[in-house]
Amino acid sequence: MNDLELTLARARSRTWASVDLDAVAHNVRAISSLLPGKTAFMAVVKADAYGHGLVPVAEAALAAGASWLGVMTPGEAAELIAAGVRARTLILGPVSDGWLPRVAGSECRLTVGTIPALEALQSLAGGVRHRVHVKVDTGMTRMGVTVEKLVGLLGRVDPSKVEVEGVLTHMACAGALDPAATRAQLAAFERAVVLVRERFPLAIAHAAASAATFAHPEAHLDMVRIGISLYGVAPAPHLNAPALRPAMTLSSRVTRAQRVPAGTPVSYCGTYRTQQATTIATVGLGYADGYPRLLGNAGQMLVGGQRLPVVGRVCMDYTMLDAGGTPVREGDEVIVFGPGLPVDEVADAAGTIPHELFCRLGRRVPRVYLRDGLPVAVAGGEAE
């Protein structure tokens, strides 16, 4: 057994997430086919690529045609730099002075959305001319300068210290059935783009994340920022998304299968009692691994192709299933979400969205990377 086979065997002993890098590449190409030739593709790989793995996903997306990367923190950008990933990378969140030397002179671009942030950057430029994208708040009410205050911010730009390379906004409800709010935001952003280009004619404009990319072609502009759909999930079922391939399958194993009589309480406080003699299967993942506690008595998992209900409260390290008459044995593989049990469905049962399920996966869950259906690398998890 070689090193990869040994590591893979250890990774698959309890709970693991398989990440299909070919699916990531497919999704880049499928979405790119919808875009005008002038529109660039930013792969949003913040939050450890939505829990899929920052560096492997970034590399797969770039190889498939993405020309930009989007991260939230300078630490994420520094991780890409350290791994040798060379691409235009926009840091969407604030960058403190302590981080500037780590990203200065790299392919990183900074986001600026307030006059104080701009002035702080310019005071710390240290002879480096930073490329920035101006964030405009057109209705999200989260980050960025309002259109009304944009001229004031632009008037403070020192071109010897800052190059305004782009201007961006974020849509608050681009996937909604009623397009009125998004159209209003786009109209406001059009005014902002005019103001920016009066001073910086070459500034690129970008507004569309995954939902707006599919629902509002007029929002494609110079670049789109693809997050959740990079990983194979449509932002909403009614959107005209291309055929996407889910990149992640979350799997676990049955750690115990026990026949119990009717009336047996299961898990903390006995919130579930068996109605008849049955088999209770204990699965080796819990909320410490990222499985929502809200799925107690509400979720399902797949064992041997059969959907089995989650019963009792989800524990920190374990979750129980009522297998009924389905043959279940210790060591059987369990699909938590993946083929046959889409992540959208699991998220809906937990009252959340796939983004959260991906991002909350615990660090003790190893990621197994696949190409052509075969494992090529394992990252994370616990050493044995």
| 153, 267, 293, 318 from 310: Cα distances, Å | 53, 11, 11, 11
Start-end ranges of CATH 3.20.20.10 in the chain?
34-230
Taking the C-alpha atoms of residue 89 and residue 108, their distance in angstroms, rounded to an integer, is: 5
Taking the C-alpha atoms of residue 228 and residue 344, their distance in angstroms, rounded to an integer, is: 11
**pLDDT attached to residue 102:** 81
**pLDDT attached to residue 100:** 83
Closest CA to 247 of 75, 92, 32, 43: 43
pLDDT digits (tens, 9 = 90+) for 75-133: 999 999 999 999 999 999 998 888 888 887 789 999 999 999 999 999 887 778 999 99
Residue pair 94/68 in contact (Cβ under 8 Å)? The answer is no
Residue type, 353: I
**pLDDT attached to residue 96:** 85
Pick the CATH number of 248-379 from 3.30.70.270, 2.10.77.10, 2.40.37.10, 3.40.50.1370: 2.40.37.10
**pLDDT attached to residue 384:** 45
Taking the C-alpha atoms of residue 35 and residue 217, their distance in angstroms, rounded to an integer, is: 8
**pLDDT attached to residue 126:** 75
**Helix extents (H) in 156-291:** 180-199, 210-215
Start-end ranges of CATH 2.40.37.10 in the chain?
248-379
232-268 exposure pattern, b = at least 16 Cβ within 10 A, e = fewer: bbbbbeebebeebebbbbbbbbbbebeeeeeebebbe
Pick the CATH number of 34-230 from 1.10.3720.10, 3.20.20.10, 1.10.10.10, 3.30.70.260: 3.20.20.10
| 99, 292, 335, 338, 341 from 302: Cα distances, Å | 45, 16, 5, 9, 7
| Residues labelled as active-site residues | 46, 268
**pLDDT attached to residue 383:** 52
Taking the C-alpha atoms of residue 210 and residue 373, their distance in angstroms, rounded to an integer, is: 26
Low-confidence residues of the chain: pLDDT under 50: 384
50 DSSP assignment: H
